[in-house]
Amino acid sequence: MSHSTSISPTAFPAALLPPRQNSSLSPPNASSLTLASPSHLQQLHSLLVKSGAPVSSLPFSFSQIAAVCSLSSPSAFFYARRLFQRAVGSSEIILWNSHLSFLSSSSPYDTLRLFSRLRGSDLLPDTFSFSFVLKACSQLPSALPVGKSLHALILKLGFLPDVFLQNTLVHMYFSCGAMAEAELMFDIMQTRDVVSYNIMITHFTKRGKMDRGHQLFNEMPERSVRSWTALIAGYVQWKNPKEAVHLFLEMESKAGILPNEVTAVAILAACADLGNLDLGKKIHELSIRLGFLSNVRVCNTLLDMYIKCGCLELARQMFVEMPDRTVVSWSTMINGHAVHGQAEEALNLFNDMITAGIRPNSITFVGLLHACSHMGLLEQGRRYFTAMVKDFGIEPEIEHFGCMVDLLSRAGLLDEALEFIRKMPIKPNSVVWGALHGGARTHKRVDIGEKAIRHLIELDPSNDGYYVVLSNIYADAGRFDNVAKVRRLMKEKGLKKTPGRSTIAVEGELHEFVAGDSDHPLAVEIYEKWEELLVELRRRGYVPDTSAVLLDMEEEEDGKEKVLFRHSEKLAVVFGLMTTPPGMTIRIMKNLRVCSDCHEALKLISEITEREIIVRDRNRFHCFRLGGCSCRDYW
């Protein structure tokens, strides 16, 4: 027995038949009716009997009747059964299936109980019945034994050749954590359709098994938009946005398949991760054409993409034009202003949010505290932290504690920050200790820096960045013996300093530079252009800050300068100046914190070239313009 994947239960006509001539009873208009309870149904039934209209004229679909009666008393359920039998004859299993269909989406436990009652009747379930109860099992990981029993019953009744049921079984096994059983079920299927493969790919990619998911994708005889989307979303989820973009372009150009809203969300997230503004804009245009902007999730992801690509003006425009804004929309925009150093705008937007009647959530306050932290608004930050609990009943999470430690540390209140950590009701993580560590370095507090680093190394002993910063703290304090000890410890542990990497998108193509890069096809021209810029930089007072190369203490001063001049963000900016039209904004993404020397150099370069240069490092955005930076040197 087989059937299609879409279930359309038999429905009653939408309106009551006209009353018989000369009848004094006139049934109510269906458009004004709602079915509130089984007793309401009985009243309408009585009215039909008195008016002489047939039972089939009830002004509700059978799924509506099932919805009301399924969750009521057993007597209501059996009343609906009798009513249905009078309306459509002897196909009583359709009644049970309508009940199961309704319950399977909202109440899986009730679905299992109802199926148990079906098994106690004199009726046999059909493939539809099994599909609904297996769906319920998929929502209950503890229902695996029930799912296995259903599988056995399906075999006994001879329904297993049904491809739809086989697909539902595969999904059930995956959802209940029985991967081996799911794979075995898939392997023994004699007939597989596109849905079979989509289920497998979706579940493998959700678990990070991207190689297996991609292998199945390559084996598919045909692919749907869902097939492509499952793989694209998987690569985004598991931090491989480059492969996600590659797949999307292949889907569009070679397969000729248009994305759906889920695809749009996934690929926009990839664009945000990569800073690929050009592709993000194309997806925006495509979303307008395909009508996706009525989906608030697509709009929120567009908002996030523009912010993470350093295009705050377009984000603002998107926010203003959104047909519907959720707390996610407001929180995303508040955080966008925060990471771009626009604290006042972030706080004003929060006030607008409250005025609009939108209740903030924990993410909203992360954005507000970030805004205060990045711009040194100490007292405002304290007030928001208190208001979060007192006025909105939101318990602080680790992110909020991290923001407060960062706020206090940046302001130089390191002893208070340390005491704040000691009083935290939850165990501090690397973000919290890292915030204290950063403040200790900025304010040259070696004692606090040492305490923070001990905790950081304990939490993540293989993170080279902690050792590098500790070395820099010691070097700043002139404790070069300690610098040497840190370097020896790194060698003993086999740790190497993570190289700086910067990316820039030009005409939709991503170019990546590493510190000291000489492999790029235009490497010679890039260094020649840098030397030209350096002449003008020195003329305007630029002096290389070699303290940024403190880890390499044995280097001669000239050697240190060469290392500075080869930092990845400088190379990416020079490449951008060479390959983009005059006046065009240059957007760079860097994996590490921008060093002090690059920060000063890029301020001057923005003035010399009359270009806006936006750099997104691992902490925030730096918008260099006319010789200044949006961070106001508070970073």
Tell me the mean pLDDT per 10 residues along the chain, length 635. Answer: 31 26 37 56 64 56 58 61 54 75 82 88 89 94 93 93 95 95 95 96 96 96 95 96 95 92 97 92 96 96 96 95 95 95 94 96 96 92 96 95 95 95 95 91 87 89 80 79 85 81 88 87 92 93 72 49 80 95 93 88 95 91 92 79
506, 610: one domain: yes
14, 105: one domain: yes
Residue 142 included in any domain? yes
Spatial contact of 247 and 239, defined as CB atoms under 8 Å apart: no
451, 535: one domain: no
470, 543: one domain: no
Single-letter amino acid, residue 425? P
Residue 75 included in any domain? yes
Residue 40 included in any domain? yes
459, 589: one domain: no
Among 86, 83, 138, smallest CA distance to 108 is for: 138
**Domain span at residue 557?**
501-629
Residue 635 included in any domain? no
Among 174, 191, 208, the domain boundary falls at: 191
6, 104: one domain: yes
| pLDDT value of position 496 | 77
Residue 454 included in any domain? yes
Among 151, 173, 191, the domain boundary falls at: 191
CA–CA–CA angle 318, 366, 596 (5° rounding): 90
Among 474, 492, 510, the domain boundary falls at: 492
Residue 162 included in any domain? yes
First vs last Cα of the chain: how many Å apart?
A: 67
465, 562: one domain: no
612, 584: one domain: yes
Question: Helix, strand, or coil here: 557?
Answer: helix
Residue 258 included in any domain? no
Q: Which residues of 540-575 are buried (b: 16+ CB within 10 A; e: fewer)?
A: eebebbbebbbbeeeeeeeebbebbbbbbbbbbbbb
Question: Helix, strand, or coil here: 573?
Answer: helix
446, 513: one domain: no
595, 622: one domain: yes
User: What is the reported pTM?
Assistant: 0.80
586, 462: one domain: no
**CA dihedral of 119, 121, 124, 128, whole degrees rounded to 10:** -70
Tokens of 225: 């938009």
Query: What total number of domains does the chain contain?
Result: 3
